């Protein structure tokens, strides 16, 4: 049977089968109720204007609104939706009967949530853009989900001041956590939010613990950025043709000076480890952010176009976001992996007056992460008024509304 003759049901089942395999490859398991919801909701009704094949690609987002080259709204890739729903269900022990607020609408995720919460639960989805909420209303109606409440408003303010939700799930990239979200979260609820720290986004499942939120799990992700009062612009500076630094926490760099460092000879250092493919290197990136900042370095994120990589201008671990540091007269970054016999080694590249020492420092931090058992990060979110003495030990990142502390010690 050709792809052209497959029905939406066939393509939906094939998509879910791919998701099951994708999660298994990551050491995860798709929860049965999430699988059932994904098989039940017709994703193609929420992606009008694209082919059935495109609608049911498990690893591709479908852009639904643009402004020039900027993406303003999309239906997220199915793998990411599945992982975030799994985070929520794991943290709450299931979603049946729960009352859910979704921040960032589109309709598809709200329909999946409606399936998951069942008749005794409820789903409210909100977005700041009336085009997006109008589209969500139409798509939900077309799919038969007429009991999802759709609200057009800025999520920086409570949707209903006196109402509490068991789950608040955010489907837009956030730079901070506004008080409205914590105020609307029930005492035993869960907030799942794609939160940027130093320009690196992770989907964090956060639970209340006294005066703070503490993470239950986190996943690598990427989302269209938040609009409205919660927006925070991420800056990019060019340091060479096709090579950029991502700045998100007020870092100041001289791009000409960094470019001059990059033009100096490269020193490569290997850690000397043999890690399995399932190792979560995204956890290492946050470890490096914490440790390099602790060294007094300016932590930045390196991005590069494929042409610059092919020309060997840089050799980053990931072209869309690799940990990097400026320290003294050196520039260093995590390098592409070195594979051998189905396992990989970690490496660091450095340029500048003391490149060997800079590469060695980064390699030592990577070795420390491996020696510690490749621990995942734990995020603590505290009110912005919290004194330093009441913060847990870890890397502190001050935001507009909150103080974040990144640790690698299980709670």
Q: Which residues are catalytic?
A: 73
Q: How far is CA 235 from CA 91, 156, 198, 300, 387, in A?
A: 33, 22, 11, 11, 29
Q: Are 175 and 155 in contact (CB under 8 A)?
A: no
User: Taking Cα atoms as reference points, which of 329, 327, 309, 328 lies closest to residue 319?
Assistant: 309
Query: What number of other Cβ atoms are within 10 A of residue 93's Cβ?
Result: 8
30: left (phi over 0), alpha (psi -120 to 50) or beta: beta
Q: What is the 3-state secondary structure of 52-83? A: HHHHCCCCCCEEEEEECCEEEEEECCHHHHHH
Which are the contacts of 341, defined by CB distance < 8 A and separation ≥ 6?
274
Beta bridge partners of 269: 348
DSSP string, 321-349: -EEEEEETTEEEEEBPPEEETTEEE-EEE
224 close to 73: Cβ distance less than 8 angstroms: yes
């Amino acid at each position: 049977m050709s792809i052209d003759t497959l029905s939406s049901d066939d393509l939906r089942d094939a998509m879910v089968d791919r998701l099951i395999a994708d999660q298994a490859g990551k050491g995860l398991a798709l929860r049965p109720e999430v699988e059932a919801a994904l098989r039940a909701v017709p994703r193609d009704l929420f992606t009008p204007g694209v082919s059935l094949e495109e609608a049911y690609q498990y690893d591709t987002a479908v852009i639904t609104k643009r402004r020039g080259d900027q993406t303003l709204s999309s239906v997220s890739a199915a793998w990411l939706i599945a992982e975030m729903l799994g985070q929520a269900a794991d943290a709450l022990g299931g979603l049946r009967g729960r009352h859910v607020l979704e921040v960032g609408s589109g309709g598809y995720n709200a329909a999946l949530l409606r399936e998951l919460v069942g008749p005794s639960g409820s789903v409210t989805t909100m977005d700041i853009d009336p085009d997006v909420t109008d589209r969500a209303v139409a798509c939900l109606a077309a799919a038969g989900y007429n009991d999802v409440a759709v609200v057009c408003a800025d999520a920086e303010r409570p949707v209903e001041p006196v109402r509490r939700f068991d789950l608040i799930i955010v489907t837009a990239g956030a730079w901070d956590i506004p008080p409205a979200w914590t105020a609307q979260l029930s005492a035993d609820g869960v907030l799942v939010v794609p939160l940027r720290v130093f320009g690196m986004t992770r989907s964090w499942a956060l639970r209340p613990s006294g005066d703070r939120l503490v993470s239950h799990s986190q996943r690598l992700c990427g989302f269209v950025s938040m609009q409205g009062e919660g927006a925070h612009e991420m800056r990019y500076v060019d340091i060479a043709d096709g090579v950029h630094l991502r700045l998100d926490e007020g870092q100041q760099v001289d791009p000409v000076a960094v470019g001059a460092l990059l033009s100096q000879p490269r020193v490569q250092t290997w850690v000397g480890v043999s890690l399995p493919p399932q190792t979560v290197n995204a956890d290492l990136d946050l470890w490096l952010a914490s440790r390099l900042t602790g060294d007094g370095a300016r932590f930045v994120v390196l991005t590069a176009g494929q042409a610059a990589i092919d020309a060997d201008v840089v050799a980053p671990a990931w072209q869309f976001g690799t940990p990097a540091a400026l320290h003294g007269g050196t520039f260093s970054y995590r390098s592409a992996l070195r594979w051998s016999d189905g396992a990989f080694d970690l490496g660091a590249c450095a340029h500048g007056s003391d490149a060997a020492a800079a590469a060695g420092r980064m390699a030592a931090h990577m070795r420390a992460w491996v020696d510690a058992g490749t621990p995942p990060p734990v995020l603590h979110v505290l009110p912005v008024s919290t004194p330093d003495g009441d913060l847990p030990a870890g890397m502190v990142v001050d935001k507009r509304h909150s103080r974040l502390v990144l640790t690698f010690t299980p709670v």
